[in-house]
């Protein structure tokens, strides 16, 4: 297996930094997807909540640097007084609106809701329930229905498990699916590519050793340009009943394009007619950046496990806020019940320390237990301050008004940077209807053929590797991009993150990439007589 693009990135950064020391221009790392914005409003609400929460602690016991645990009785009345006194302080109005949303729209008891927020922000208790705090789960559930499922409340309910980002969620899923014999070593699984490289690397580890079938987003339009959609014949591979699971990122990473509705319908038909036991794991982290997005959770809720991270949209990568969503009537539970007696007995032995009726233990609860090696299930769960911030982010997005404006702002940032990148490249901007614009995957070979001719493209690809371009770019311009081939995209493609640098950087990246290609063209022209070239 080739070196992971994220490990290669470190080598490119060293080259770029070496160049940076000799230049007035700073290194530009467009290799990672960490956004350079943060959602200010939910953070302000969190810090305002923190002030109120500590006042609640000191109200019960105040001895200098020592305070007591908050109490519920009368907390709504005291919060109303706090809100009136601190109405002009940052975050107070948003916090109050989120509290009110829970009471009026989700039918929360105000005292219980406020106490969960206060106690969770203080972090003085273990998470209870360990899977997810009760009110937090309902707020995040409403956000996922709005964001991933077009607001269709009829689809649920989904049970949620708060995790340390989507990456932890994926690791937990691989572990638990195998532990529960829903996937076994050597099983055939499908992966939609290009895709975030760990999804390619984990299934091939010795402990899993899955037989991987790639579903390639290889479609091109009439002019030969990538659409990053899955051709029908690729999707049809899922009709093979030996394919037990399908892993995908939607919108994709790195192309950052959402799956079109026709493909979702084709997958739904395959599940209905040809592969009724197909398990789908869909990572939908970029959903908010694609207009009209619909997750496979919305069309196949009982077959899809949803994985979502708040990191990109809200700029909370350092907080590690992720969630797994599983429908309460999910196929995993039906498959568990269908296990033969010997497998059932093995699973009874695995989980017998946490319940006397293992056969009725849903897959979601097994997942929570497996996240702590079963024996430490009582300590499972994301920290309560993390969960509270998750609820405040989700609640802010549900408010409309400022929440909707924030969504428009973040989408516009990415669209503007895409336009600037292509201005620098001197090329027309791609306008794909389901493009999230969070990344772009740019095919250097296709560009070479279209703009410099087949002979130059053949010379470039025969005498050089795609990494030559990336290392040259880093060394000469201090710019770090990632190889698209490392994500199982076109071998000569590169991934550019449109989220993590200032706007003017993208013009510079486009110009520098264009300049590197022009340098290769010039070298080729000096070496090859004009009379022997083909257009």
Considering the segment(s) 5-33+408-532 as one domain, its CATH architecture is: Alpha-Beta Complex (3.90)
And the tokens for 478?
């201090």
Cβ burial, residue 356 (10 Å; 0-12/13-18/19+): exposed
Rounded Cα–Cα distance for residues 76 and 59 (Å): 14
What per-residue confidence (pLDDT) applies to 380? Answer: 93
pTM: 0.93
Task: For the chain, give every domain's residue range.
Answer: 5-33+408-532, 40-125, 134-397
- In a structure prediction context, what are the per-residue pLDDT tens digits for the chain, which is 535 residues long? 565 666 666 666 676 666 554 443 556 887 778 999 999 999 999 999 999 999 999 999 999 999 999 999 999 999 999 999 999 999 999 999 999 999 999 999 999 999 999 999 999 999 999 999 999 999 999 999 999 999 898 888 999 999 999 999 999 999 999 999 999 999 999 999 999 888 899 999 999 999 999 999 999 998 888 999 999 999 999 999 999 999 999 999 999 999 999 999 999 999 999 999 999 999 999 999 999 999 999 999 999 999 999 999 999 999 999 999 999 999 999 999 999 999 999 999 999 999 999 999 999 999 999 999 999 999 999 999 999 999 999 999 999 999 999 999 999 999 999 999 999 999 999 889 899 999 999 999 999 999 899 999 999 999 999 999 999 999 999 999 999 999 999 999 999 999 999 999 999 999 999 999 999 999 999 887 655 555 5
Considering the segment(s) 40-125 as one domain, its CATH architecture is: Orthogonal Bundle (1.10)
What per-residue confidence (pLDDT) applies to 16? Answer: 65
**Cα distances (Å, whole numbers) of residue 322 to 29, 140, 250, 359:** 25, 10, 16, 28
What per-residue confidence (pLDDT) applies to 32? Answer: 79
What per-residue confidence (pLDDT) applies to 222? Answer: 87
211-216 and 188-193: which strand pairing?
A: parallel
And the tokens for 86?
């601190």
Backbone angles phi, psi at 475, to 5 degrees: -70, -45
Alpha-helical runs (H) found in 70-133:
75-85, 92-105, 110-122
**Cα distances (Å, whole numbers) of residue 305 to 167, 249, 296:** 14, 12, 9
Taking Cα atoms as reference points, which of 63, 51, 79, 72 lies closest to residue 119? Answer: 72
Rounded Cα–Cα distance for residues 281 and 283 (Å): 7
What is the CATH number assigned to the segment(s) 134-397? 3.40.640.10
């Amino acid at each position: 297996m080739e070196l992971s693009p994220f490990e290669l990135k470190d080598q490119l950064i060293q080259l770029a930094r070496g160049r940076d020391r000799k230049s007035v221009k700073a290194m530009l790392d467009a290799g990672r997807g960490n956004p350079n914005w943060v959602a200010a409003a939910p953070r302000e609400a969190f810090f305002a909540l923190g002030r109120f929460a500590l006042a609640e602690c000191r109200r019960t016991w105040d001895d200098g640097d020592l305070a007591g645990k908050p109490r519920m009785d009368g907390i709504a009345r005291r919060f109303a007084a706090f809100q009136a006194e601190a109405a002009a302080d940052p975050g107070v109005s948003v916090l109050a609106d989120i509290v009110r949303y829970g009471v009026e729209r989700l039918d929360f008891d105000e005292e219980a809701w406020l106490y969960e927020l206060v106690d969770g922000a203080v972090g003085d208790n273990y998470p209870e329930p360990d899977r997810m705090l009760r009110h937090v789960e309902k707020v995040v559930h409403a956000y996922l229905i709005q964001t991933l499922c077009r607001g269709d409340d009829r689809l649920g309910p989904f049970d949620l498990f708060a995790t340390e980002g989507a990456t932890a969620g994926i690791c937990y899923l691989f572990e638990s699916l195998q532990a529960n014999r829903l996937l076994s070593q050597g099983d055939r699984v499908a992966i939609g590519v290009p895709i975030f490289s760990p999804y390619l690397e984990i299934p091939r580890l010795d402990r899993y050793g899955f037989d991987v079938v790639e579903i390639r987003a290889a479609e091109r339009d009439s002019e030969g340009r990538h659409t990053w959609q899955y051709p029908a014949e690729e999707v049809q591979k899922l009709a093979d009943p030996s394919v037990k699971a399908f892993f995908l990122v939607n919108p994709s990473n790195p192309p950052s394009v959402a799956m079109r509705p026709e493909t979702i319908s084709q997958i739904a038909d395959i599940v209905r007619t040809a592969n009724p036991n197909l398990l789908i794991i869909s990572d939908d982290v970029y959903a908010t950046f694609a207009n009209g997005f619909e997750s496979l959770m919305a069309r196949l809720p009982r077959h899809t496990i949803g994985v979502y991270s708040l990191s990109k949209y809200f700029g909370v990568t350092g907080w590690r806020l992720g969630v797994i969503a599983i429908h309460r009537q999910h196929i995993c539970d039906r498959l568990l019940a269908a296990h033969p007696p010997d497998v059932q007995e093995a699973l009874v032995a695995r989980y017998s320390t946490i319940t006397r009726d293992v056969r009725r233990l849903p897959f979601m609860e097994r997942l929570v237990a497996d996240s702590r090696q079963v024996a430490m299930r009582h300590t499972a769960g994301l920290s309560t301050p993390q969960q509270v911030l998750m609820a405040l982010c989700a609640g802010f997005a549900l408010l409309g008004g400022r929440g909707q404006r924030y969504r428009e702002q973040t989408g516009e940032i990415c669209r503007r940077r895409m336009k600037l990148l292509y201005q620098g490249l001197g090329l027309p901007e791609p306008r794909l209807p389901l493009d999230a614009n969070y990344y772009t995957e740019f095919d250097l070979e296709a560009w070479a053929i279209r703009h410099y001719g087949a002979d130059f493209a053949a010379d470039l690809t025969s005498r050089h590797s795609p990494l030559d371009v990336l290392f040259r770019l880093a060394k000469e311009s201090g710019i770090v991009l990632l190889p698209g081939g490392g994500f199982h995209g076109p071998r000569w493609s590169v991934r550019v993150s449109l989220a993590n640098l200032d706007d003017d950087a993208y013009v510079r990246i486009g110009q520098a990439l264009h300049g590197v290609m022009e340098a290769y063209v010039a070298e080729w022209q000096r070496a090859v007589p004009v009379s022997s070239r083909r257009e």
